[in-house]
Structure formats: C-alpha cells, structure tokens
Amino acid sequence: MAEEGQTLHSDVLGAYIRAQRRLADLSLRQLAELSDVSNAYLSQVERGLHQPSLKVVQSIAHALNLSSEVLLAEGGLLEKHSKAGPTDTEAAISADPELSEKDKQALLGVYRSLRQRSDSKPTATED
C-alpha cells in the first residue's frame, strides 16, 4: 500500500495533469493517444489512484508540451526552485478557504505553468 505522502503527491500530480490537459483542450482519450498511455491508466493517474513511472510522466509531459521537471515539481514530486517569492495571486489561491488543498495545488500549478509559458514567449520585436 502506498504511503500517505505518496497518495497526496499522486492526487496533486493527477489534478495537475488533468488541469493541464483541460487547458490544452484535450480529451482524456486524446492525451492518452498523444502520450502512448492507455486511456484507463491515464484516468487512474488523473484521479490519483496510481503514481506513474518516470517514463510515463515524461510521455505525458511531452504530450502536454511541458518539461518533465515542471510536471514533477508542480505535481509535488520534485523540489521547486523558484527565484522569486509567491505572487499575490499565489497567496490568494493558497488562502482561499473554499478550495481543498488538492485543488489549491492544481490551480497553483496551472497558474505557474501559464506564467512560465508567457515568460518564454518571444516579444513582438523578437518574431
């Protein structure tokens, strides 16, 4: 049986994968095909029932156009190395009493991912 910490990380990782999949406007079936992971297994990963292997995480990350490190860090399985402190938005999400801890982590992961994507986009003069 998985340790309690592993279950929490699996829940957070699964919620983050689901949020990223929805953000990419992909169905579960589409992400399963893109990542070469079975539909049923991917569903279990998203629901926190299984902690995927590194190979599966890499496949999912590639299909979502994310780095494996981002997926592992936002999923709570790898230590995050942030240069700056939390933003006001992150503080507000963390303080929201209406959200569960799992939902907060998923939302923070999506927020940070979007910020990372916008930071890496070329400016109009770089096009």
pLDDT in tens, 96-112: 889 888 888 888 888 87
- Each residue's pLDDT tens digit, 45-100: 999 898 888 899 999 999 998 888 888 887 777 766 555 567 788 888 888 889 88
Residue pLDDT, tens place only, 1-32: 344 444 457 788 898 899 889 988 999 999 99
Sort 43 into a burial class: Cβ within 10 Å, 0-12 / 13-18 / 19+: middle
Question: Where are the domains positioned within the chain?
Answer: 4-121
- Looking at the domain 4-121, which fold is it? 434 Repressor (Amino-terminal Domain) (1.10.260)
Over the range 98-120, which residues count as b (16 or more CB within 10 Å of their CB) and which as e?
A: eeeeeebbbbbbbbbbeeeeeee
**Residue 122 pLDDT greater than 70, yes or no:** no
